[in-house]
Structure 1
Amino acid sequence: MDCIQDWPEPVVRVQSLSDSGATRIPERYVKPAADRPSSAPCADLRIPVIDLATLASDGPVDCAAVVQAVSGACRDWGFFQVVNHGVDPSLIRRIREVWGSFFHLPMEAKQVYANSPKTYEGYGSRLGIEKGAILDWGDYYFLHVLPSSLKSLHKWPALPPTLSRETTDEYSREVLKLCERVMKVLSLGLGLEDDFLQKAFGGDDAGACMRVNFYPKCPQPDLTLGLSSHSDPGGITVLLADDRVKGLQVRRGDAWVTVQPVPDAFIINVGDQVQVLSNATYKSVEHRVVVNSETERLSFAFFYNPKSDLLIRPAPELVTSEHPALYPPMSFDEYRLYIRRKGPRGKSQVESLKAV
């Protein structure tokens, strides 16, 4: 995809810093004052919670109430939680158990799977290749799911013995089904045919990947972030949050809303590609992750994206003389290079594309 080959400096695992017992974090993780968790007020609000019980099959979407609720959430918040989503709670428990086990393996066992910025696939600890960048307080494991040509099962960890590649594969298949159902609802909410977004993503050639996030305990959580403020560059994101402890925050105006995870629910948000396709009818929204000194956190972000080389542009049906196209055509490959190089930077990428 490009010439990015390796990290610009040695990678330090955040988990090893946490386990060292240090009472102060290295300067590389100290955020500027304006970006620290206490830099902006927090609003006592909750993102919408939507019951998808009527959509828990692969048939046609015929529930106007769900379409209205999802469409309203994407126009107003860019985020919502879903319950009764069709993914078995026992599978959710298994995926949490096996990946929790991985991150507690000895470091030398995990290092076998160390990643590079060429594909990000594997065990990682930073996003972006900018030398000297201020880093986030978190480790992760990145996996390709679709297209199948990128799905390298040998790069999926087979350790410890309880970590079953089959569990991760089953989880991916079930969340993919949920993504496809949500895409239908989003399309209908725009007043378009239910397969509009799926076709715009390349139909059966749409892409998908997953990042398992591990946020270790932090001795100075008021000075850093587990993941800096950003909007997701892809299509839609389905997040399985850690429901034992809060960490995800969503921007609401000038304030941050701390998401209260519902047990076994998924948190879904609009990415920049859907904002472009909807001509900003649906909004991708900045979000970030805070850490704490008492508890580690584990979450699973599943990204459903357009086929990487397709040009993405506002839907012609949504472009009028009163509402002209806000964005030029651009492939997802071109777009995500920004994140690959710079790391998370608010909404600076998608906003920079807007026609003046």
Structure 2
Amino acid sequence: MVIAIDLIGSSRNTNLFVHSLRIDFGKMMGLEPKNLHSSIPVPSVQELASLQLEAEPSRYIRDDMDSIISTVPSDNTLRVPLIDMTKLVDSESQETASKASCCMQRRGIFQLINHGVSDESLRNMNKQTQEFFDLPLKEKKRWAQKPGSLEGYGQAFVTSEEQKLDWNDMFFLKALPIEDRNLEIWPENPPKFRYSQDMRQIAVALIRFRAMGLEIETRELCAAYEEGLYQIRMNYYPPCPQPERVTGFTPHVDIPGFAMLLDCGDTPGLQVLRDGQWIFVKPLDGAVVVDMGQITEILSNGLYKAPEHRAVVNKSKERRSIVTFCYPNLSFKVGPAKELIKLGIPPLYKTVTVEEYLGCFFNRKLEVPFIDTLKI
């Protein structure tokens, strides 16, 4: 990792000395950058749940967090917005795009219906995910994460033996571009375990309307997502004896342009933070949940906010979900859109390539919010 520091003085030796002091101080304070490219192996949560324990192991207990259990909202005012994609596509109007953009700006997360992905395709993705997690543990371990990589079966971002763990198992794959696929870890069982390019088509369409809403150039942005990076994470959240004391997924903000989540069933689990309150995103059959990430927040120069969200678990029901992370291509420059800066609004963030952006994320101090490291 290239560490950016303020150099003092003009002497090269002085600069190196200051650099050394700051790194040593960071290590003393436990603030040295973490390598998040790989994860320490942890027990299968699915196997722990099968033991029907009366309580979770201590590494999963999160008494340090606020109340985890919340009520599924019945009031429409507590629901995330619902957007019909056919109305966006059919209208082709700046006004409609602006309304959708305003909705995205206020909430940062919404459910998308009539998105063009067939019910058959969604059912197939759901079925393949279930078939994988239904495999015996010995079989699933054939695709366990290897040192230096997050791809495969396991958990993400576990960097120490003392770290608290989430109550989930995951299977993570790089799906697009095709040359990024590591076919050694793509499961052979179940057969035909392949992803379509449907999510990329949704991503490019959404980016187009987002750009229209911000009144910025669409061609370059759409091309960047046409050639972008698409990564798939399949999640399994087994039943949990004490759901009020664990998290399925720790509160976080996503870093790509956006993420698209497909709930495989009707068990609520995704929660988003709104006005200091955690509310459920109720699963809606056939809908895709679209969650804005920090690349979009930077592109909009802070007009859009990537929402904080988390996953909770259920005492008696399992939950599965499939998340697609959508990035522009590696050479695309992530920074405030030039059209916004021309309006006299000062840029809030640095401009870096996607490759540099990911390098900063995967080699960073966990104590510092990632987006803060990119602020000017």
Shorter-chain TM-score bucket reads 0.7 to 0.9
Matched with 1:191 is 215
What is the 5 A alignment of 1:1-356? Answer: 7-8=39-40, 10-38=41-69, 45-54=78-87, 62-64=92-94, 66-116=96-146, 118-160=148-190, 163-165=191-193, 168-170=194-196, 173-199=197-223, 202=224, 204-319=226-341, 323-337=345-359, 340=362, 348-355=369-376
Contact preservation (8 Å) 1:30, 1:223: yes
Mean CA deviation greater in 246-255 or 187-196: 187-196
Q: What is the SS of the residue equivalent to 1:264?
A: coil
Q: How many residues align?
A: 342
Mean CA deviation greater in 64-73 or 103-112: 64-73
Distance 1:308 1:35, change over 3 A: farther
Amino acid at match of 2:370: Q
Amino acid at match of 1:119: S
C-alpha separation in 2, matches of 1:205 and 1:231: 24
C-alpha separation in 2, matches of 1:278 and 1:65: 18
Distance 1:339 1:64, change over 3 A: same
Please state how far the C-alpha of 1:350 moved relative to its aligned partner: 1.2
C-alpha separation in 2, matches of 1:288 and 1:343: 21
C-alpha separation in 2, matches of 1:209 and 1:82: 19
Contact preservation (8 Å) 1:129, 1:343: no
C-alpha separation in 2, matches of 1:343 and 1:246: 32
Please state how far the C-alpha of 1:261 moved relative to its aligned partner: 1.7
C-alpha separation in 2, matches of 1:126 and 1:35: 23
Larger Rg: 2
Please state how far the C-alpha of 1:83 moved relative to its aligned partner: 0.7
CA-atom RMSD in angstroms? 2.9
Please state how far the C-alpha of 1:38 moved relative to its aligned partner: 4.6
C-alpha separation in 2, matches of 1:130 and 1:342: 15
Contact preservation (8 Å) 1:233, 1:335: no
Amino acid at match of 2:169: D
Contact preservation (8 Å) 2:97, 2:212: yes
Q: What is the SS of the residue equivalent to 1:112?
A: helix
Q: Alpha-carbon deviations, 1:165-199, whole Å to 9, x = none?
A: 2xx322xx111111111111111010123335324
Q: What is the SS of the residue equivalent to 2:285?
A: coil
Contact preservation (8 Å) 1:33, 1:39: no
Name structure 2 gaps, 5 residues minimum.
2-33
Q: Alpha-carbon deviations, 1:101-130, whole Å to 9, x = none?
A: 110111000000001363311112233424
Please state how far the C-alpha of 1:39 moved relative to its aligned partner: 9.2
C-alpha separation in 1, matches of 2:282 and 2:357: 31
C-alpha separation in 2, matches of 1:30 and 1:338: 30
TM-score normalized with structure 1 length = 0.87
- Give me the identity figure in percent: 31
C-alpha separation in 2, matches of 1:40 and 1:84: 28
TM-score normalized with structure 2 length = 0.82
Distance 1:71 1:183, change over 3 A: same
Distance 1:333 1:217, change over 3 A: farther
Mean CA deviation greater in 116-125 or 254-263: 116-125
C-alpha separation in 2, matches of 1:252 and 1:117: 37
Q: Alpha-carbon deviations, 1:111-157, whole Å to 9, x = none?
A: 00001363311112233424421111111111112222211334211
Q: What is the SS of the residue equivalent to 1:12?
A: coil
Amino acid at match of 1:187: A
Please state how far the C-alpha of 1:277 moved relative to its aligned partner: 0.9
Amino acid at match of 1:223: R
Distance 1:343 1:231, change over 3 A: farther
